Amino acid sequence: MDKKTNSIKLGDSLMIGGIRLKSNVLMAPLAGYTCFPFRLMAERLGAGSAYTEMVSSDGLKYDDRATSRLLYTDEREKLKCVQLLGSIPTVFERAAKSERLEKFDIIDINMGCPVPNVIKSGEGCALMDDIPRASRIIEACKRSGKVVSVKCRIGMNRQRIVIEEFARMCEVSGADMITVHGRTRDMMYDGEPLYDYIKLAKQSVSIPVIANGGINSREKAEEMMEKTGADGVMLARYGFENPLIFSELTGRKCSDTKLSLLMEQVEIAEGCYDELYVLTYIKKLTSYFMKKLPGSKKYKLDLYRCGSISELRIVLEEIFGSKADAESI
């Protein structure tokens, strides 16, 4: 039987399992970007949760530097959320129960990644074509005792849209929340989200359903909520272009500028990572911030010539320190 949609609004708090999120505006896990400093910024600006970059469930058995960097967190991050990728239920269970994930409050299972290499390995969105296996993975993660969410799409293509059955399976298997990216796998990241299928997922289950896809403004977020009846929204790439969108959507006061946010990110990252990683991360984030900036081609050349954090700070001041660009994003 269809479940009723609710009247939750943007910025409202949201209960997932036994955890209350301060807002229903969430930040998606994105490989190469949602590192610890960015998650702290998103949370401070109003995001109800922000997940780690995608972590291989199998890779957790290796004590390598890359995985440790992905999992870096400390007491400043109040709600700790990790996203796992894989295809083997027993491996997920071992990972979920491992000491390395002991500090995390929420485990998100990636069942939506459309990248070819991931699909070929039977991971990500490929799991929507193997619903029994997807169910066993959710059950395996739940045996850790943690809150578990699932991020998925609506299906592999328009001829294989399975979101109604898939959403029900997630709830029955123990998932505490589902995030639905309103595109099929073959749509990748292009095209208007198919709102009706997110709505179908929402009407099919009692657990919270978060809507994802194409949200780059308050208008788009409100349209998504209105057309789907979802319990909240999840932002992806636009969260990097304009992280103040979290404050805008949640009604939180904020006086930050592009420069102040970037300088804060440099300071936090410098205390967590080696210089090469800090330079790489800040350059990528700055490139997003510069998307609508006049003369960005010259600025990018200056930015990518930086060979030290001290040089980076100087260039950031040059790019964003002028009166014209000292305004909020």
Extents of the domains making up the chain: 14-250, 258-325
Please tell me the number of Cα atoms within 13 Å of 79 on its side-chain side: 23
Looking at residue 322, its pLDDT comes to 65
What CATH architecture is 14-250? Alpha-Beta Barrel (3.20)
Q: What is the pLDDT of residue 6?
A: 62
The torsion of the CA quartet 139, 97, 177, 131, rounded to 10 degrees, works out to -30
Alpha-carbon Rg of the chain, whole angstroms? Answer: 20
Residues acting as catalytic residues: 113
Q: What DSSP letter does each residue of 95-156 carry, written as one string?
A: HHTSGGGTT-SEEEEEE----HHHHHTT-GGGGGG-HHHHHHHHHHHHTTTSEEEEEE-SBS
Torsion of CA 194, 196, 201, 205, to 10 degrees: 160
Q: Name the 3-class secondary structure at 181.
A: strand
Q: At 129, which amino acid appears?
A: D
Provide the terminal-to-terminal Cα distance of the chain, rounded to the nearest Å. 44
Q: Identify the pLDDT of residue 1.
A: 40
> What is the reported pLDDT for 153?
98
pLDDT at 2: 47
Please give the average pLDDT of every successive group of 10 residues along the chain, which has 329 residues.
65 96 97 95 97 94 86 97 98 96 97 96 97 98 98 95 98 98 94 96 98 96 97 95 94 91 97 96 93 80 93 94 54
- Answer whether 57's CB lies under 8 Å from 86's CB: yes
Helix (H) or strand (E) holding 53: strand 51-56
Rounded Cα gap, residues 214 and 201, in angstroms: 18
The Cα-based distances of 230 to 47, 88, 112, 179, 224 in angstroms read: 16, 30, 18, 9, 8
